[in-house]
Amino acid sequence: MMVGRVALASGAVIATFSAAIVWAQTAPSTPELRAAWSTYLTQCSQCHGDDAKGTAAAANLRAFKGSEDDFLRIVREGRPGTGMTPWKGLIPDDEIRNMARYIKQLSGASDRK
């Protein structure tokens, strides 16, 4: 029984450490973008991944080609027929736009590597 708890605790530490590494490598430059990235990590990363590169459950946000308005609309309204639920009223529009801006910066950074 104790082994299971240790393994579970170790998994949580590894996940937290992984998020910290992503944060250190990609830390946003402005307070608005840091707040948006924090929201992303707590609300979006479970499906889209800590690095926004997507998972089996959700899209790679770094590959998003739509406009900032498109991103806002999708986050607010969700995507019917997918796991993307609507976030309207739960995440302020300004913060959603800031998340879009930060993810766009991540996309540009990976294009330059």
Q: What is the CATH number of the domain that holds 42?
A: 1.10.760.10
Residue span of the structural domain in which 51 resides = 28-112
Q: Is residue 3 part of a domain?
A: no
Q: Is residue 54 part of a domain?
A: yes
Q: Is residue 45 part of a domain?
A: yes
Q: Is residue 14 part of a domain?
A: no
Q: Residues 28, 105: contact at Cβ < 8 Å? A: yes
pLDDT at position 29: 75
Model confidence at 1: pLDDT above 60: no
For the chain, the domain total comes to 1
CA-to-CA distance for 87 and 77, rounded, in angstroms? Answer: 7
Q: Is residue 108 part of a domain?
A: yes
pTM (two decimals): 0.71
Q: Is residue 7 part of a domain?
A: no
pLDDT tens column, 10-49: 555 555 555 555 545 556 678 998 898 899 999 999 999 9
Within 10 Å of residue 96's Cβ, how many Cβ atoms? 23
Q: What is the percentage of the chain residues whose pLDDT exceeds 90?
A: 57
Structure token digits, residue 4 = 């299971």
Q: Is residue 101 part of a domain?
A: yes
pLDDT at position 105: 86
CA-to-CA distance for 17 and 2, rounded, in angstroms? Answer: 22
Q: Is residue 13 part of a domain?
A: no
Structure token digits, residue 107 = 């996309």
